[in-house]
Every structure is written in structure tokens, then in C-alpha cells.
Amino acid sequence: GLRKCLISMDTHHLEESFQEIKRAIQAKDTFQNVTILSASETLQSIKPSDVCCVTKNLLAFYVDRVFKDHRELNPHILRKISSIANSFLYMQKTLQRCQEQRRCHCRQEATNATRSVHENYDQLEVHSAAVKSLGELNVFLAWIAKNHQEISA
């Protein structure tokens, strides 16, 4: 069942890549009173059965929107973001197989959670939204590390 639909991903190097750019990226985010992946409301309330679908949807959110909308001049930051993006593409392929075997079912709660993330994103000017979403990657990575580890433990 769902227990096998996991990303056996070592988030350590992803987290390290993020830690290197965290200060710079978060410093560009001047809207401290707005969040996109607001942890407590959205991700923490996700049930184990919805983990696969929410992971798939948030990977798509980052790959199809955030990484595309983000403008970056600093080559070091750009390299780190590209490394993270490539890891996300790999994770998408892993979940794609689950999708094909119909083991990544999306219930309404999971769809609602993802929709609220997109709605938060749309509240901001697109580049500000992309910077804020990148600054909140640690929330998504911590959630992945916790949820994809917990089920398989």
C-alpha cells in the first residue's frame, strides 16, 4: 500500500545546499508578515495517507512555479538552487511511478492544502512570492525528512 510510495531521499545534502543560501534568500524576503507554506496550518495537519499526494503537489509547485519565477544574479545561489531543483526532479520521477500504479491518491484534504499554498503565492507579486517560497524551503525539507522517514521506519 502507501507505505512503499516514498522518496528514499537523503535530505541531508538538500538541507546543506539550502543552509548555504538561507541567509541571503531570506534577507531578500521583506514581507515577514506573510507566509506561503505556513507550517502549522498547512503541512503539520497533513495525514500520513495524504503525504504522497501533498509531496507530489508541492514538488510540482516548486518545479513549475517557484524555480521558474525566481530571478537570481548571484552564481553561487543559482548553483545551489539548481542543485535543489535537480533533486526535486528526481523525487518527482520517483513519485511518478507511484502515480502510475495508483498508489499516490489525492483526497480533498490534500488538494485543499496545496490550493492554499498556491493562493498564498498568488497574493504576492510573482518575484516576491518566489523569493518567499525559496526562503521557506526548510519548512518543506523538514516536513519531507519527517514524513518520508516516519512511515518507512
Partner 1 sequence: VPCVSGGLPKPTNITFLSINMKNVLQWNPPEGLQGVEVTYTVQYFIYGQKRWLNKSECRNINRTYCDLSVETSDYEHQYYAKVKAIWETNCSKWAETGRFYPFVETQIGPPEVALTTDEKSMSIFLTPPEKWKRNPEDSSVSMQQIYSNLKYNVSIRNTRSNRMWSQCVTNHTLVLTWLEPDTQYCVHVEAFVPGLPRPTRPSEKQCVRTLKDPSSEFKVK
Stretch in the footprint of partner 1 (CB under 8 A) among 52-60, 72-80, 111-119, 138-146 = 138-146
Q: How far apart are CA 129 and CA 102, in angstroms?
A: 32
One symbol per residue from 35 to 74: x for binding partner 1 (CB under 8 A), - otherwise; what is it?
Answer: x--xxx---x------------------------------
Stretch in the footprint of partner 1 (CB under 8 A) among 10-18, 70-78, 85-93, 96-104 = 10-18
C-alpha dihedral (36, 71, 86, 29), degrees to nearest 10: -30
**Rg, C-alpha atoms of the chain:** 15
Q: How far apart are CA 61 and CA 103, in angstroms?
A: 20
Stretch in the footprint of partner 1 (CB under 8 A) among 4-12, 64-72, 83-91, 92-100 = 4-12
> Per rule CB under 8 A, is residue 153 in the interface with partner 1?
yes
- For partner 1, the binding residue among 53, 54, 129, 135 (CB under 8 A) is 135
CB closer to partner 1, 88 vs 101: 88
- For partner 1, the binding residue among 2, 22, 46, 128 (CB under 8 A) is 22
- For partner 1, the binding residue among 6, 15, 61, 114 (CB under 8 A) is 15
- For partner 1, the binding residue among 1, 3, 8, 33 (CB under 8 A) is 33
